[in-house]
């Protein structure tokens, strides 16, 4: 019997700022808000801490999408880290187009620590966007043991 | 400092696509400071190339390395093994770096990953501007330290041209007229009389004449 191919489940990496999105994700759990299990959260001290290589490496290693969740504009704990992140994300989105990848695979959103429901909506929307785009064409060429994103 | 910027990924891919093993070689000097070819940019460009290679169904292994200075044999030595084990080198150094590596390895294809653009300074974070044309016969003392050869859109030595509006350049109205800057600076340092002197046509022999330029310092030769 031929096994039915599994439906595509996106694997999305989410870099969440400690001072907002990560706390929001915590609150999301406390409030029992449902969100897609396709997300892998990495806590970061500030989205401004994220080097652009991280986004590229994540996609190179097989992530279908990368979500960067920082504080509301004007509300960064380190004043303007999220604004730096915004510019860097835009820069890499343009680079993704040069590479031949859809720029929608990288997205930045802004939430505050109390915005659990909006964060769940952002995650759902990102996962759905990636679902529409399909698996990363980079991932197709990566064997299971090469991929660092399980 | 030498200022350069990255070539686009499709351009780079087109340059390297015939090779199986590629070394992306960064330079730790000028191009690191102008954020175009240092260790971080080597990592970014290598990552981008690896993805582009997969998407285009090519087979190129990309290795990364950054040395302190590509225009100096002493430092090139540190990349010797990596250069030997790869089919080609994509240098993220300036044009001098690319050629220094190519001269040292006559059998190895060495390609430029950057467009070397000008000699300039960091104006503010993320903004570099050209300040020197390396003409070989510096005239800055006559113009209050503002180089008309580089900064005047028409390279005038007896300006302004008459097309400037207020203090704006006729060619690029978003910029200040270089001659306005010269005038203001000479006035500030009390040397306006320098402008009364007509500057004769510049002798470009030190710049564009007779191929590449060399400097030989007998006192330093061994």
**Domains of chain A, first to last:** 12-141 (3.40.50)
Residue of A64, A100, A139 best to disrupt the B interface, most CBs of B under 10 A: A100
Which of left, alpha, beta for B25 (phi over 0: left; psi -120 to 50: alpha)? beta
Tell whether A20 is within 8 A of chain B (Cβ): no
Tell whether A50 is within 8 A of chain B (Cβ): no
CATH 3.40.50.2300, chain B: domain bounds? 2-118
Q: Which of A40, A52, A15 is nearest to A147 (CA)?
A: A40
Answer whether 0.95 is exceeded by the pTM: no
Residue B66's DSSP bridge partners are: B26
Q: What is the pLDDT along chain B (222 residues), one digit of tens a residue?
A: 999 999 999 999 999 999 999 999 999 999 999 999 999 999 999 999 999 999 999 999 999 999 999 999 999 999 999 999 999 999 999 999 999 999 999 999 999 999 999 999 999 999 999 999 999 999 999 999 999 999 999 999 998 999 998 899 999 999 999 999 999 999 999 999 999 999 999 988 998 788 899 999 999 998
- Measured between beta carbons, the chain A residues lying within 8 angstroms of B54 are 137-138, 141
Q: Per the CB < 8 Å rule, is B48 touching A95?
A: yes
CA distances from A25 to A37, A48, A55, A137 (A): 12, 19, 20, 29
Q: What ipTM does this complex have?
A: 0.89
Cβ contacts of residue B11 below 8 Å, gap of 6+? none
The CATH code for residues B2-118 is 3.40.50.2300
Angle at A11 between CA A9 and CA A13, to 5 degrees: 155
């Amino acid at each position: 019997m031929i096994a039915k191919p599994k439906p595509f489940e996106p694997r999305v990496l989410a870099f969440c700022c400690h001072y907002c999105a990560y706390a929001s994700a915590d609150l999301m759990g406390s409030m029992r808000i449902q969100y897609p299990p396709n997300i892998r959260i990495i806590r970061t001290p500030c989205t401004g801490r994220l080097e652009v290589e991280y986004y590229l490496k994540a996609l190179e290693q097989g992530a279908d999408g990368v979500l960067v969740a920082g504080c509301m504009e004007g509300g960064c704990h380190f004043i303007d880290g999220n604004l730096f992140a915004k510019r860097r994300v835009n820069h890499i989105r343009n680079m993704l187009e040069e590479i031949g990848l859809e720029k929608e695979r990288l997205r930045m959103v802004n939430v505050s620590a109390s915005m659990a429901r909006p964060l769940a909506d952002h995650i759902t929307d990102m996962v759905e966007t990636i679902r529409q785009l399909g698996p990363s064409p980079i991932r197709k060429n990566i064997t299971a043991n090469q991929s660092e994103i399980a | 400092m030498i200022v350069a910027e990255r070539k686009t990924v499709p351009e780079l891919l087109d340059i390297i696509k015939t090779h199986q093993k590629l070394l992306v070689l960064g330079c730790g000097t000028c191009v690191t400071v102008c954020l175009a070819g240092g260790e971080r940019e080597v990592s970014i460009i290598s990552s981008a190339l690896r993805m582009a290679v997969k998407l285009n169904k090519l087979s190129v292994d990309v290795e990364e390395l950054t040395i302190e200075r590509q225009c100096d044999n002493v430092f090139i030595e540190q990349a010797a093994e990596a250069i030997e084990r790869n089919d080609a080198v994509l240098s993220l150094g300036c044009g001098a770096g690319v050629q220094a590596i190519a001269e040292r390895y006559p059998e190895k294809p060495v390609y430029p990953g950057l467009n070397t653009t000008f000699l300039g300074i960091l104006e503010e974070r993320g903004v570099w501007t050209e300040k020197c044309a390396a003409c070989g016969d510096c005239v800055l003392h006559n113009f209050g330290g503002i180089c008309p050869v580089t900064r005047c859109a028409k390279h005038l030595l007896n300006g302004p041209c008459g097309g400037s509006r207020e203090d704006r350049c006729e060619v690029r109205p978003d910029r200040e007229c270089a001659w306005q800057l010269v005038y203001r600076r000479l006035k500030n340092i009390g040397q306006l009389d320098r402008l009364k002197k007509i500057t004769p046509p510049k002798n470009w022999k030190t710049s564009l004449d007779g191929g590449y330029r060399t400097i030989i310092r007998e006192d330093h030769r061994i």
